[in-house]
Structure 1
Amino acid sequence: MRARDLAEPYPAVSADGDAVTAARLFVDRRLPALLVLDSDQRPYAIVPGSQLLRVVVPNYALEDSAQALALHDTELERLAEKLAGLTVAQWLPRHRILPTVVGPDTGIAQVAALMIRTHTPLVAVVESDGQETRTVGAITAARLMEHFLTQE
């Protein structure tokens, strides 16, 4: 079994796209991660949902759980307000998370190992003809687990 066999179409957003629109896609589709493509339709970033929340919680609360405990919901800024006017690239964590990418012939054990090592629920499958690289789909952790559960 190869990556191409498990890759499925996956909604993606442009790095130059509107951050609020991307957040709504993420929520409406209940995605495990946001797949961000550059202007050439190549993976720019794959950001797990937990990291997308970083814009809402103040840095001091991330560093000290006691500080986070003391925060009240009213003190947290609304996500839509924080994202208004930002592009997706501006929304991403300060240190961009490089996309987890595999070729179509990558074995599924390698895909699983990559997900485990990088703590990501999503791997993009890309194809290259030497001059151009294009995203052909993605494999989610849920899809991979489904495969392993149904193996005879």
Structure 2
Amino acid sequence: MRARDLLTDLPVIDLDSPVLDAAKLLIEQDLPGLIVVDDGSLFTILPETEVARLVIPGYCQDDPVLARVVDEAHADGFLHQLGGRTLRACLPAQPRDLPISAPDATVLQVAVLMMRTRSPLVAVVDGDRLLGALTLKTLLERVLAA
């Protein structure tokens, strides 16, 4: 079985989209992560934990003790403090090592890539063209069924 045999159509989100829209897309479609494009080209892949990192206030990430002093009313509304901030404004200009696979990669190669990059989502790319994605769930389902 090859990566091309396990492709899943996942929505992509533009780098200039609001972070709040990214979080909503993740939740509404129960996605393991997001594929972010810039002018139609793959920019980065954000596992759901990275999307959470974008929406959780930085001061709480830097010092988790501060999360305890925020009252419940403010804690429940932290997502709305993002305003219209975009992914571009929140992400580093240079994306991290991306989990990208060739279409002919084996299931084992893709699984190793997922573990190495700590991503439950791999983009399958042929040249510069995004063919689709492969999720850890799909990979495990197909391998266990074989």
Range class of TM-score, shorter chain: 0.7 to 0.9
Residues 37 and 56 of structure 1, relative CA distance in 2, 3 Å threshold:
closer
- Cα offsets for 1:15-70 (capped at 9, x unmatched): 1233333322111101111110121x232111111221224433343244444445
- 1:113 maps to a residue whose letter is V
Given that 1:123 and 1:139 are in contact with CA atoms closer than 8 Å, whether structure 2 keeps it comes out as yes
Q: How does 1:1-152 map to 2 (within 5 A)?
A: 1-39=1-39, 41-76=40-75, 77-82=77-82, 84-92=83-91, 96-128=95-127, 133-151=128-146
Given that 2:12 and 2:35 are in contact with CA atoms closer than 8 Å, whether structure 1 keeps it comes out as yes
- 1:35 is paired with a residue whose SS is strand
Residues 4 and 55 of structure 1, relative CA distance in 2, 3 Å threshold:
closer
Given that 1:46 and 1:98 are in contact with CA atoms closer than 8 Å, whether structure 2 keeps it comes out as no
- 1:46 is paired with a residue whose SS is strand
- Could you tell me which runs of 5 or more consecutive residues in structure 1 were left unpaired when the two chains were aligned: none
Given that 1:43 and 1:99 are in contact with CA atoms closer than 8 Å, whether structure 2 keeps it comes out as no
Given that 2:22 and 2:51 are in contact with CA atoms closer than 8 Å, whether structure 1 keeps it comes out as no
Tell me, in whole angstroms, the C-alpha distance in 1 between the residues paired with 2:10 and 2:43.
14
Given that 1:13 and 1:35 are in contact with CA atoms closer than 8 Å, whether structure 2 keeps it comes out as yes
Tell me, in whole angstroms, the C-alpha distance in 2 between the residues paired with 1:38 and 1:55.
18
TM superposition shift of 1:93: 6.1
Tell me, in whole angstroms, the C-alpha distance in 2 between the residues paired with 1:26 and 1:116.
21
- 2:122 maps to a residue whose letter is V
Tell me, in whole angstroms, the C-alpha distance in 1 between the residues paired with 2:20 and 2:74.
20
Residues 64 and 44 of structure 1, relative CA distance in 2, 3 Å threshold:
same
TM superposition shift of 1:71: 4.2
Q: CA RMSD in A?
A: 2.3
- 1:110 is paired with a residue whose SS is helix
Aligned residues: 145
Structure-2-length-normalised TM-score: 0.84
- Could you tell me which runs of 5 or more consecutive residues in structure 2 were left unpaired when the two chains were aligned: none
**Percent of residue pairs identical:** 35
Tell me, in whole angstroms, the C-alpha distance in 2 between the residues paired with 1:70 and 1:78.
13
